[in-house]
Every structure is written in structure tokens, then in C-alpha cells.
Amino acid sequence: MVEIALETRNITKIFPETVANKDISFKLKKGEIHALLGENGAGKTTLMNILYGIYMPTSGEIFINDQKVIIRSPLDAIKLGIGMIHQHFMLVETLSVLENIILGLKEYGFVINKKTVKEKLKEIESLYSLQTDPNVKVWQTTVGEQQRIEIIKVLFRGANILILDEPTAVLTPQETQSLFKILKKMKDDGKSIIFITHKLEEVMQIADIITVLRRGKVVKTLPKYKTTKSELAQLMVGEAQDCNYLRKKRETNEIILSINKLIVYSDKGTKSLKGIDLDVKRGEILGIAGISGNGQKELVQTIAGLKKVAEGKIIFNGLDITNKHPRFISRLGINYIPADRLAMGVAPNLSGIDNAIMRRYYRFPLSKNGVMNYIKALAYTKMMAKAYKIKLDNPFAPIKLLSGGNMQKLILAREILENPKLLIASYPTRGLDIASTQFFRQKLIEIANKGKAVILLSEDLDEILSLSDRIAVMYEGSIVGILKAEKADKNTIGLMMTGAST
């Protein structure tokens, strides 16, 4: 008989406005990868936060190795051998990798013996073929590396049960594959893994068993070999989905945005854009592909007015917008969906209302002569939540209490409702469930169909390929090539992204 590593019995979690988990009973076996699926707001993160001691359940019990436990804090969870990698990483950017790994560990004392730590680190790294340089600072590392650091950190603390909340949302397909290798190795070592994702291919590839949540309840638990992607999709939303985007042929040669010899420096003083030339046409979706850290983020932030141009020009609709104020640029009709929703997209402790009106609070009818009309603001927020199916139970509550996907939807809705002439969307569907992903992709296409333009940044090449008309590939701060979508394929783009061919 296989041993049960972790079990929950009738876990219920009630928040003031929301029943996030209802009677969840769930078993995790030793040496098993258990995928947790569900729409945005289904209660996945809440359940994991309960297992990791961030929340106490309203009722219900947790068993570890058949022992009833009460987990009051992450410290308790760590002692019980549970490790969690959150939807948003929790590393200290200014510390080194090594310092991050041992942060908060008491047994290494006040004066840290770097030698013993490094030895143990080596052991773990060779066991799972994880590579890191313990001495670099975290801000110098890529997202993929940061995730490896998080994993090492968890393993270092001796975790046997590993929780990963949407770990692949920020990874490139290659990084995802190397993560899966690590997870398989852990599984072979008898560790148990709970894995949350919205990507069904990943589930089919890595999971042994799958539990689907809907509106806080378990719909079904079933082994992978007995199910299919479409059955899972059906279980999640309760109905079948089709995936055909309505595209129009949109031939136009009118240039809406023109970038000339753009040079931008990073905060650290190095050149992050090395003379970019790029035109965006009316009616097109221009995809920008590249491995993160190659200047894509800097490029779009510069267009939005959030980074200083050192040299070069940006012309929008015939108007020079180089180094103009972000408000001036957004009022011209350029809207920007930032990649990192918590860092830039929202003010996390402010209400849903305050966040929903960020783009228009200064205009009539939301404000007049410097005075806000919060009644109109509330109405606007409710309209937004309804039209874009955002699960916003209490618009007055801090936005950080929304589920990751619902927060993302609010940001998307906020920018799209401005009716932009040029929408810059970085990783727009990051963290969205299947239905919402399709809904918002359709929205992007509609914008282009209306003769407006979209710049689409994504690490998901499938997304870029299926939506874009043209694809620009960036490498080390330059555009190494622009391909027509019908002539592009994943391999060529993938090679260009690594600078292998031009």
C-alpha cells in the first residue's frame, strides 16, 4: 500500500465575503505529483496557504503521515517538511543567492559558517543537477534562476512535500522542461509534489493524479491515464470550450508607431537597448519574442514613458513622444499592461475601486474640478467587474486579496476599457485560466481588427505565434530579426532568441 504523505479532511475557509474552500478532502501520496486545477478564484492558492500555515482553516483537519497536525505558521509547515514556492517569488533582491537560501534558518547561527552551508548546497545541487552561483546577487539573476533558488531554498530546509503555485507561469518552455526534470527526480526520491497550473499540456506531461476545484469545492480527483485535456477543461468550467479566434485579414501599411535608433540605459548604467528601429502598423498585432532580460521590458516601458530615452526618437501618430510624461502618452491612446502586476500594475493595499479607476480618476465624471466622485467610481468598477467577469466580491477590500488571475483580469480590463489606439500587452494572459485566456486573446484581436495596434510580449511562443501578424525577436538589447507570422516557426524564433542566427 502506498503511504499518504498529506491529507486534508473537510477543509473549509470562509473569508468575510467569500467561501474560498468548502469541504475539501484531498490526499497526497508519497512519491506522487498531484496537479491542482481550477478556474481563477477557484480556491487553489487559499488551500495551499492553509497547508503552509499562512491561513488557519475555518474548519477541517490536516494530517501528515497519518498524524493530525495544526499548522499555525510557515515555520510550523517547514518543521513538518512542507515547502512552498509562491505565485510571486519571495526572494530578497539585494542579497546573494547563498544569503537568501539560509535566510531565517536558526541552526546556522548568527555567524554563518559558509563552508558547511556551501557543502550542503553542493550536495543538493548535484543530486538534482541544479546549477547556481551562490555568490551572485538575486537581482542579477533571471526568473528561471530565481525559481531554482526558491527550490533549492525549500530543499535546503529539508522539505518532503513541495507546493508549487503556478510555477510555470513565468517560465519559457525550455525552463519549464528543466523544472519538470527536477520535479521528476524529486518524485523518484519519494518526495510529494502539489503542482498548480492553468496549462493542461503540462498536467498531462507531469502529473500522476489530478484534482479539479470549482468554486471552492472538489469536483473530481482522477488519475491522469484515465482522463483527457478536454475532459479536464470541461470539469473546470462545467462546459466545453472551443479555441477558434475570429481573425480578419487586416492589410494596412499605415504606421502608427515609429521607433528610431533608440538607446536606453538600465538603472545599473549598462545599455539595455542598443539602437532599436521598429515600426508598428495600424491593424496589426506585433509580437515581441525574447528570453527575459534581453530588453523587451525596457523597450515597452520606454514607449509608455516610464524609462528615459538616452538617444533616438519615438513617434506616435506623427507626434514626437520621446521622453514625454506617462500621462501625456496614455492620453494620446497608448496603454500599457505591465509584466509584473504586483510591482507596477496595482497598488496592492488599496481597494478594487481605487485600482480600477487608476487610468481615468482625473477625468469627468470620476472627478470634476479636483473633486472625486466615488459613487461614479464604484459604479464604474462594478461595470468593469461584470463586463470582464472579474470575481470582485467586495470592491472596497484591498485588491491584494483577489486571486492572482482576477487581479490580472482587472488590470487587463482597466487598460482595454480606455479604448487604446496602441495597446502594449506584456504577458497579458499570465495566470489566467483557460476561458479567460481565450476571452482576452479575443479582445486583443478585436482591437487589431478595429484598425488599432497591439504590441504583444510573451514568453509563450505559442501565444505569440497564434496571435501576431509579425514577430520581432530581441536579443541582448537589439532586434535581431522581424518575421511574418505565417513564415515563422517555433524553432527559428527559438534559435534567434538565443542569438544563434540573425
Partner 1 sequence: MLYFEKRQSVPQRFKVVIPIISLLIGLIIGAIAVAIVGINPLDVYGGILSNAFGSWYAFSETLVAATPLILITAGLIVVFKMNIWNIGAYGQYIMGAIFSSYFALFASNGLSKPIMLSVMVTASMVGGAIWALIPTLLKIFWEVNEVITTLLLNYIALYILKFLMYGPWKNPTSYGFPLSKTFPQNAILPILFNGTRLTIGIIFALIAVLIIWFLIKKSKFGYEIRVIGDNPLAARYAGISVNRDIIIGMAISGALAGLAGMTEVSGIVHYLQVKIGADYGYTAIIVAWIAYLDPLVTILASTLFGGLASGGYSLQITMRVSYGIVGLIESITLFSLVGAQIFLNYKLRWKNGSS
Ligand X SMILES: Nc1ncnc2c1ncn2[C@@H]1O[C@H](COP(=O)(O)OP(=O)(O)OP(=O)(O)O)[C@@H](O)[C@H]1O
Answer yes or no: are the C-beta atoms of 455 and 399 closer than 8 Å: no
Binding mask 43-82 for ligand X (x = CB under 6 A): xxxx------------------------------------
Cβ distance to partner 1 smaller for residue 134 or 338: 338
Q: Which does 18 bind (CB under 5 to 8 A by kind): Mg ion, ligand X, partner 1, none?
A: ligand X
Q: How many CB atoms lie within 10 A of CB 35?
A: 22
401 is a site residue for ligand X (CB under 6 A) = yes
Cα Rg for the chain, rounded, in angstroms? 23
336 binds partner 1 (CB under 8 A): yes
Residue identified by cell 549598462 is 270
- Residue 79's binding partner, choosing from ligand X, partner 1, Mg ion, none, with beta-carbon cut-off 5 to 8 A by kind? partner 1
Specify the 3-state DSSP secondary structure of 302: helix
Q: Which region, judged by CB under 6 A, interacts with ligand X, from 266-274, 346-354, 365-373, 402-410? A: 402-410
Residue with cell 559558509: 114
Stretch that binds partner 1, among 33-41, 155-163, 189-197, 336-344 (CB under 8 A): 336-344
Least distance to partner 1 from the beta carbon of 44, Å? 18
- Alpha carbons within 13 A on the beta-carbon side of 232: 29
Binding flag, residue 372, partner 1 (CB under 8 A): yes
Residue among 95, 69, 76 at smallest CA distance from 7: 69
| Residue 406 touches which of Mg ion, partner 1, ligand X, none (Cβ within 5-8 Å per kind) | ligand X
Binding mask 371-400 for ligand X (x = CB under 6 A): --------------------x---------
Binding mask 437-476 for Mg ion (x = CB under 5 A): ----------------------------------------
Helix (H, G, I), strand (E, B) or coil at 180: helix
> For residues 160 and 429, which CB has a smaller minimum distance to Mg ion in the complex?
429
CA 100, 101, 105, 109 dihedral sign is: negative
The interface region with Mg ion, picked from 170-178, 293-301, 400-408, 447-455 by CB under 5 A, is 400-408
Tell me if 178 contacts partner 1 by CB under 8 A: no
40 forms part of the interface with Mg ion (CB under 5 A): no
Q: Report d(CA 235, CA 117) in Å as an integer.
A: 46
Of the candidate residues 361, 389, 438, 481, the single one contacting partner 1 (CB under 8 A): 361
Single residue of 3, 10, 59, 73 touching partner 1 by CB under 8 A: 73
Residue 426: name the closest of 336, 333, 307, 316 by CA. 336
For ligand X, give the closer residue by CB, 18 or 227. 18
With contact defined as beta carbons under 8 Å apart, do 439 and 270 qualify? no
Could you tell which of ligand X, Mg ion, partner 1, none binds residue 359, using a CB distance below 5 to 8 A set by kind? partner 1
DSSP-assigned letters across all residues of 274-292: EEEEEEEETT-EEEEE--T
Taking alpha carbons only, the member of 145, 152, 154, 198 closest to residue 172 is: 145
Of residues 8-27, those binding ligand X (CB under 6 A): 15, 18, 20
β-bridge pairing 4-14 and 59-64: antiparallel
By beta-carbon proximity to Mg ion, the closer residue of 45 and 197 is: 45
Give the one residue of 21, 45, 192, 381 binding Mg ion; rule: CB under 5 A.
Answer: 45
- From the CB of 289, what's the least distance to ligand X, in Å? 25
Nearer to ligand X, 45 or 301 (CB): 45
How far is the C-alpha of 64 from the C-alpha of 295, rounded, in Å? 46
Residue 196 CB, shortest distance to ligand X, in Å, is 7
Supply the minimum distance, in Å, between the C-beta of residue 145 and ligand X. Answer: 23
Of these, 10, 72, 94, 243, which contacts partner 1 (CB under 8 A)? 72
Q: Which of 405, 420, 428, 477 binds ligand X (CB under 6 A)?
A: 405
Assess 404 for contact with Mg ion (CB under 5 A): yes
Total of chain residues touching partner 1, rule CB under 8 A: 37
3-state secondary structure of 29: strand
Burial class of residue 450, CB neighbours in 10 A (0-12, 13-18, 19+) = middle
Looking at 296, 330, 406, 426, which residue binds partner 1 (CB under 8 A)? 330
Q: How far is C-alpha 460 from the chain's CA centre?
A: 11
- Taking CB under 8 A as the criterion, the residue among 7, 23, 76, 125 binding partner 1 is 76
Residue 379 binds to partner 1 (criterion: CB under 8 A):
no
- Three-state secondary structure string covering 112-174: CCHHHHHHHHHHHHHHHCCCCCCCCEHHHCCHHHHHHHHHHHHHHCCCCEEEEECCCCCCCHH
C-alpha cell at 101: 537560501
Query: Which residues lie below 8 Å from residue 406, measured CB to CB, with a gap of 6+?
Result: 40, 41, 390, 391, 392
Determine if 70 is a binding residue for partner 1 (CB under 8 A).
Answer: yes
Q: What is the dihedral of CA 496, 498, 501, 502, to 10 degrees?
A: 60
**Biggest CA-to-CA distance, the chain:** 72
Tell me the residue type at 295.
G
- Report whether 475 contacts 498 (CB < 8 A): yes
Binding residues vs ligand X (CB under 6 A): 15, 18, 20, 38, 40-46, 391, 401-406
Binding residues vs partner 1 (CB under 8 A): 15-16, 55, 69-73, 76, 79, 304, 306, 325-328, 330-331, 336, 338, 343-350, 354, 358-359, 361-362, 367, 370-372
Binding residues vs Mg ion (CB under 5 A): 45, 403-404
